[in-house]
């Protein structure tokens, strides 16, 4: 199986953690996708976000398992926590199990730059860089995209498709879907030669709107 194809639309990396009840409904949001490969469910992708005193925090969990004859042939797990303020990354802490291969990405904002420490890249990145987490259409206009799996700065090109769709090509290939609010609706991608799709299962609040308020 081609791992890159399977993960192209899914590596982006939230737990289903419910934030404390002291946070009002208007300050938190949740979204859960079911991930399908050739129409068959292979896992989920969850995002749980909060906005507190101008600080946006989001936890992202991905858990995928491709089975063949009842045996797990491939597994992918990601747990990522991002903190943002004023539209810029404050910190990222992501851990990945790519079918037994451990990867990671840590980012810290040093003021003028982002310090990135990852499994495939360690160095700096522009302070306006974004992650491969997709939850705001504002990410489409900014570069680079930093892989939350490895820390790599990805060379991507983005072109508008049908209304509400954006085609991403280059070092990451996927189609992203957004609604009229600018909220992420899911992805279409090549999952090892089979069509991969995200199917929105549940949502509360608006994650992109919370991010924009930070």
pLDDT digits (tens, 9 = 90+) for 52-74: 999 999 999 999 999 988 898 99
**Please, which residues have CB within 8 angstroms of residue 10's CB and are 6 or more apart in sequence?**
35, 45, 62, 64, 76, 187, 189, 196, 198
Banded model confidence at residue 25, pLDDT cuts 50, 70, 90: very low
* pTM of model > 0.75: yes
| Whole-number Å distance between alpha carbons of 64 and 91 | 25
The residues facing 130 across adjacent strands are: 145
In this predicted model, what pLDDT tens digit does every residue of 149-192 receive, in sequence order? 999 999 999 999 999 999 999 999 999 999 999 999 999 999 88
Question: So what's the pLDDT on residue 192?
Answer: 84
**Please, which residues have CB within 8 angstroms of residue 69's CB and are 6 or more apart in sequence?**
none
Question: So what's the pLDDT on residue 70?
Answer: 83
């Amino acid at each position: 199986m081609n791992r890159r194809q399977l993960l192209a639309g899914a590596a982006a990396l939230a737990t289903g953690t419910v934030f404390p009840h002291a946070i009002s409904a208007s300050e938190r949001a949740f979204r859960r996708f079911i991930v399908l490969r050739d129409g068959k469910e292979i896992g989920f992708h969850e995002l749980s976000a909060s906005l507190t005193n101008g600080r946006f925090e989001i936890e992202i969990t991905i858990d995928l398992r491709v089975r063949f004859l009842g045996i797990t042939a491939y597994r992918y797990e990601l747990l990522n926590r991002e903190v943002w303020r004023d539209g810029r990354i404050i910190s990222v802490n992501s851990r990945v199990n790519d079918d037994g291969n451990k990867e990671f990405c840590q980012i810290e904002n040093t003021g003028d730059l982002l310090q990135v420490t990852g499994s495939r890249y360690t160095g700096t990145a522009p302070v306006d860089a974004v992650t491969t987490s997709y939850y705001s259409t504002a990410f489409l206009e900014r570069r680079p995209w930093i892989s939350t799996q490895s820390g790599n700065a990805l060379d991507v090109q983005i072109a508008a498709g049908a209304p509400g769709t954006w085609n991403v090509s280059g070092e990451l290939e996927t189609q992203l879907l957004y609604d009229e609010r600018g909220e992420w609706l899911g992805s279409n991608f090549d999952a090892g030669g089979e069509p991969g799709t995200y199917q929105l299962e549940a949502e509360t609040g608006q994650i992109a709107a919370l991010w924009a308020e930070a």
